[in-house]
């Protein structure tokens, strides 16, 4: 039997969740007409929602840190030998714990919204009510179907352990950050519902909503970037994006959120695109739901799928269906009355943004189709298949070119009615500069294909025009300066496309069988296989191969790829050894010498990886800058 202390902890934690449930139910009274205008104690109540979830979560963390195996969840996901950080991250490294974290973040957003909220009481009340409705739904799911506080029957002194591949510092913080992104869009969704209910989707509504979109978007971007960086050094496949269903599931809300981020600008400046903004808000949150939960449900066939439980997937699908039915039903009845007619010419900033929105949604559709098609065929025809990465690359590439063009020119077209000739005048110098650069580089590297020159030209145009306008406004007053974030993000995107393509073109990979003292060569680099070490880690043993990178008979760098053998659960993982160079990474992975005397080694030369990370960083910092300027104004 579980100890008395555990019984108390489990009871108290469940009790906290019930408090949160009741308060959320009470906050939902704002949906009723009688209460919609009253100034209730929403700050106090949101604080209670937040703190009660926080305490429940802290109890779970405590159970994990103390390796309290009376808790079923701790027993199945932890082990006393685990380093402290992974005991902590084990809290959210499983379905139940991550669900509790999802609820906690829901209440965090509700709490911060409540204390920062606008002067419009009716709108605020509806938003708080809708946010509480979401909290209520997820707390019920947690309590009824996936409580993290269920106790074991019987005594266990040791747990089953956490999947070693998840035992990585980056992967410890990746889920919380990604969740802040996903869950941030719940508030966007609540804004959309409240706006429709109150019939006030207007400039003020957009101004109040925009910072929240930015915050969620920054977290989501950062979360995806961290996940991708982890895949790069941990999975040892040499890539950073595999078009895997789980990766796609996080990319889809990002695409729709990025579209939303742009169209809300039109709403804020010109009071138009009301229904489009609402649609994108609902879509983004729905895709976030899909992104979070289908990943853990096991429905998606992915290398990233860990635990699977179709029953829970069903609940999420049901919840998603309700969200969609409810919000689209509301949209159908209110949508047409939201739209304010406000005309714009074919050549205008509005059209440019609209086109970009469509391009982003086309990419979204492509990704969606590729991800969902195998599921669909499996359900209907019971035939298993996968969609190759080539599908995504080939279909998305032309759209990215168009995206680059529109991203370059749209910021230079005036609102309402612009002119092509004026836009050309504004970007003529940077275009000439980009064209020169593109030709210079293609001459230098002997690239003469039209596509390559076009890619170079388009990416450089975007980078240079963005940077130029960034430099121009950096000396102006604070209101003009607020577009600095945008210019940085756009330049980052240009650099991203450029480095991704360069990376794909110039990456090299070689596989060797290596015996000690062998010399391996790739791209003019010489590696000498020195020796094999046996290393004992905190909760694993490992075989480590030592390679010396030599130049002129001198050792310039030592590579030590490893294979780690964990006992709980019994698993082996490859640890890559990477030399991060300014222009090119060198990346070594080894494999268990299972069936042969020599070891298998794979050496990758990955150019421009640092530029990829840098560009993503620029995109994120751009978002952060926008938030800061927004708060300052």
Partner 1 sequence: MTRTVKNRLIKILLSLLILIVAVLIIIFNLRDNIVYFYTPTELERIDISEKKIMRVGGLVKKDSIKNDGSKNFSFIITDNTNEINVDFQGILPNLFAEEKGVVVEGSYVQENLFRANKVLAKHDENYMPPEVVNALKDDGKWQGQ
List binders of partner 1 among 285-314 (CB under 8 A). Answer: 298, 301, 303-306
Question: Is residue 383 part of the contact set for partner 1 (CB under 8 A)?
Answer: yes
Q: Do 600 and 543 meet the contact criterion of CB atoms below 8 Å apart? A: no
Which one among 39, 448, 597, 631 touches partner 1, defined by CB under 8 A? 597
Residue 342, SS3? coil
CB closer to partner 1 out of 146 and 573: 573
CB closer to partner 1 out of 396 and 628: 396
At residue 266, φ and ψ (nearest 5 deg) are -65, -40
Among 200, 56, 205, 76, smallest CA distance to 138 is for 56
Provide the minimum distance between the beta carbon of 370 and partner 1 in the complex, in angstroms, as a whole number: 7
CB closer to partner 1 out of 83 and 569: 569
Residue at token pair 């296989």: 529
Q: Do 71 and 63 meet the contact criterion of CB atoms below 8 Å apart? A: yes
Which one among 235, 251, 259, 404 touches partner 1, defined by CB under 8 A? 235
Residue at token pair 């030399």: 579
Provide the minimum distance between the beta carbon of 357 and partner 1 in the complex, in angstroms, as a whole number: 13
Instruction: Report CA-CA distances (Å) from 568 to 78, 160, 398.
Output: 9, 6, 47
Among 70, 199, 183, smallest CA distance to 134 is for 183
CB closer to partner 1 out of 368 and 412: 368
Which one among 591, 621, 627, 628 touches partner 1, defined by CB under 8 A? 591
Tell me how crowded residue 321 is: count the other CB atoms within 10 A of its CB: 11
CB closer to partner 1 out of 198 and 591: 591
Which one among 441, 600, 614, 624 touches partner 1, defined by CB under 8 A? 600
Provide the minimum distance between the beta carbon of 377 and partner 1 in the complex, in angstroms, as a whole number: 9
How many whole angstroms separate alpha carbon 367 and alpha carbon 71? 39
* Three-class SS of 9-36: HHHHHHHHHHHHHHHHHHHHHHHCHHHC
How many whole angstroms separate alpha carbon 92 and alpha carbon 30? 32
Which one among 152, 364, 484, 589 touches partner 1, defined by CB under 8 A? 589
How many residues of this chain interact with partner 1, rule: CB under 8 A? 45
Which one among 68, 163, 431, 542 touches partner 1, defined by CB under 8 A? 163
> Which of 31-39, 115-123, 181-189, 589-597 is the region at the interface with partner 1 (rule: CB under 8 A)?
589-597
CB closer to partner 1 out of 169 and 310: 310
Q: Do 266 and 273 meet the contact criterion of CB atoms below 8 Å apart? A: yes
Which one among 533, 592, 632, 633 touches partner 1, defined by CB under 8 A? 592
At residue 143, φ and ψ (nearest 5 deg) are -70, -40
Which one among 390, 421, 477, 553 touches partner 1, defined by CB under 8 A? 390
How many whole angstroms separate alpha carbon 420 and alpha carbon 430? 16
Provide the minimum distance between the beta carbon of 358 and partner 1 in the complex, in angstroms, as a whole number: 9
Question: Is residue 123 part of the contact set for partner 1 (CB under 8 A)?
Answer: no
List binders of partner 1 among 488-517 (CB under 8 A). Answer: 511, 513
Q: Do 261 and 280 meet the contact criterion of CB atoms below 8 Å apart? A: no
How many whole angstroms separate alpha carbon 625 and alpha carbon 488? 9
Using only the alpha carbons of the chain, give its radius of gyration.
27
CB closer to partner 1 out of 6 and 163: 163
Structural tokens at position 325: 């039915």
CB closer to partner 1 out of 552 and 597: 597
CB closer to partner 1 out of 188 and 363: 363
Residue at token pair 């659960």: 569
Among 83, 81, 86, smallest CA distance to 166 is for 86
Question: Is residue 602 part of the contact set for partner 1 (CB under 8 A)?
Answer: yes
> Which of 147-155, 185-193, 288-296, 385-393 is the region at the interface with partner 1 (rule: CB under 8 A)?
385-393
List binders of partner 1 among 529-588 (CB under 8 A). Answer: 563, 569-574
Provide the minimum distance between the beta carbon of 320 and partner 1 in the complex, in angstroms, as a whole number: 21
Q: Do 570 and 581 meet the contact criterion of CB atoms below 8 Å apart? A: no
Provide the minimum distance between the beta carbon of 516 and partner 1 in the complex, in angstroms, as a whole number: 15
Binding mask 347-366 vs partner 1 (x if CB under 8 A, - otherwise)? ---------------x--xx
Tell me how crowded residue 38 is: count the other CB atoms within 10 A of its CB: 12
CB closer to partner 1 out of 436 and 598: 598
CB closer to partner 1 out of 369 and 467: 369
Residue 506, SS3? helix
Residue at token pair 């799911």: 141
Question: Is residue 594 part of the contact set for partner 1 (CB under 8 A)?
Answer: yes
How many whole angstroms separate alpha carbon 564 and alpha carbon 535? 9
Tell me how crowded residue 584 is: count the other CB atoms within 10 A of its CB: 20
Provide the minimum distance between the beta carbon of 398 and partner 1 in the complex, in angstroms, as a whole number: 9
Report the chain's terminal Cα–Cα distance, integer Å.
59
List binders of partner 1 among 15-74 (CB under 8 A). Answer: none
Question: Is residue 387 part of the contact set for partner 1 (CB under 8 A)?
Answer: yes
CB closer to partner 1 out of 42 and 602: 602
Question: Is residue 391 part of the contact set for partner 1 (CB under 8 A)?
Answer: yes
CB closer to partner 1 out of 336 and 472: 336
Question: Is residue 373 part of the contact set for partner 1 (CB under 8 A)?
Answer: yes
Among 242, 235, 236, smallest CA distance to 588 is for 236
Q: Could you say which DSSP state residue 483 is in?
A: T
Question: Is residue 388 part of the contact set for partner 1 (CB under 8 A)?
Answer: yes
Provide the minimum distance between the beta carbon of 594 and partner 1 in the complex, in angstroms, as a whole number: 7
Q: Do 114 and 571 meet the contact criterion of CB atoms below 8 Å apart? A: no
Structural tokens at position 596: 């042969």
Question: Is residue 524 part of the contact set for partner 1 (CB under 8 A)?
Answer: no
Question: Is residue 239 part of the contact set for partner 1 (CB under 8 A)?
Answer: no
Q: Would you tell me which residues interact with partner 1 (CB under 8 A)?
A: 163, 165, 235, 237, 298, 301, 303-306, 362, 365-366, 369-370, 373, 383-388, 390-391, 394-395, 511, 513, 563, 569-574, 589, 591-592, 594-598, 600, 602
């Amino acid at each position: 039997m579980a100890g008395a202390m555990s019984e108390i902890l489990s009871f108290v934690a469940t009790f906290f969740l019930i408090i949160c449930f009741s308060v959320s139910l009470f906050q939902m009274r704002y949906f009723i007409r009688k209460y919609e205008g009253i100034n209730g104690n929403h700050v106090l109540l949101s604080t209670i929602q937040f703190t009660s979830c926080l305490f429940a979560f802290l109890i779970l963390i405590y159970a994990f840190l103390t390796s309290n195996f009376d808790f079923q969840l701790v027993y199945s996901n932890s082990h006393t030998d685990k380093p402290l950080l992974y005991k902590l991250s084990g809290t959210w490294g499983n379905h139940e714990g991550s669900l509790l974290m999802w609820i906690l973040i829901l209440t965090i957003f509700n709490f911060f919204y409540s204390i920062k909220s606008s002067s419009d009481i009716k709108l605020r009340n509806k938003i708080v009510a809708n946010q509480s409705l979401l909290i209520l739904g997820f707390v019920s799911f947690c309590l009824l179907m996936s409580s993290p506080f269920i106790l074991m029957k019987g005594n266990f002194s040791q747990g089953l352990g956490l999947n070693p591949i998840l035992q990585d510092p980056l992967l410890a913080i990746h889920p919380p950050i990604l969740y802040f992104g996903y869950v941030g869009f719940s508030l966007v969704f609540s804004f959309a519902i409240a706006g429709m209910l109150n019939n006030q989707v207007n400039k003020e509504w957009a101004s109040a909503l925009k910072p929240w979109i930015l915050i969620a978007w920054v977290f989501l971007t950062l979360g995806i970037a961290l996940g991708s960086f982890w895949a790069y050094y941990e999975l040892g496949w040499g890539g950073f994006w595999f078009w895997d269903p789980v990766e796609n599931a996080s990319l889809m809300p990002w695409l729709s959120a990025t579209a939303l981020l742009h169209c809300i600008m039109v709403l804020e400046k010109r009071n138009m695109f009301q229904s489009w903004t609402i649609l994108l808000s609902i879509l983004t949150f729905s895709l976030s739901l899909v992104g979070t939960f289908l990943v853990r449900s096991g429905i998606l066939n992915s290398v990233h799928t860990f635990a699977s439980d179709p029953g829970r997937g069903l609940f999420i699908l049901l919840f998603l269906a309700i969200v969609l039915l409810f919000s689209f039903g509301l949209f159908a009845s209110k949508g047409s009355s939201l739209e304010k007619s406000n005309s714009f010419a074919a050549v205008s900033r509005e059209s440019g943004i609209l086109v970009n929105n469509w391009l982003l949604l086309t990419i979204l559709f492509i990704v969606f189709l590729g991800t969902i098609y195998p599921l669909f065929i499996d359900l209907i025809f019971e035939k298993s298949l996968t969609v190759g990465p080539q599908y995504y690359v080939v279909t998305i590439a032309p759209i990215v070119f168009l995206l680059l063009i529109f991203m370059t020119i749209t910021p230079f077209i005036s609102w309402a009615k612009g002119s092509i000739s004026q836009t050309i005048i504004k970007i003529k110098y940077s275009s000439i500069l980009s064209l020169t650069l593109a030709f210079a580089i293609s001459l230098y590297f002997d690239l003469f294909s039209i596509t390559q020159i076009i890619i170079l030209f388009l990416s450089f145009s975007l980078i240079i025009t963005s940077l130029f306008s960034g430099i121009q406004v950096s000396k102006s007053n604070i209101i003009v300066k607020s577009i600095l974030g945008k210019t940085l993000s756009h330049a980052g995107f240009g650099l991203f496309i450029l480095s991704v393509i360069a990376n794909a073109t110039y990456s090299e990979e070689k596989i060797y069988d290596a015996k000690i003292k062998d010399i391996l060569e790739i791209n003019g680099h010489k590696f000498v296989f020195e020796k094999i070490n046996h290393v004992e880690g905190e909760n694993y043993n490992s075989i480590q191969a030592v390679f010396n990178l030599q130049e002129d008979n001198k050792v310039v760098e030592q590579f030590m790829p490893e294979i780690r053998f964990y006992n709980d659960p019994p698993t082996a993982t490859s640890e890559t050894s990477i030399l991060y160079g300014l222009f090119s990474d060198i990346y070594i992975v080894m494999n268990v010498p299972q069936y042969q005397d020599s070891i298998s080694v794979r050496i990758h030369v990955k150019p421009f990886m640092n530029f990829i990370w840098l560009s993503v960083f620029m995109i994120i910092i751009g978002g952060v800058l926008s938030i800061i300027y927004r708060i300052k104004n």
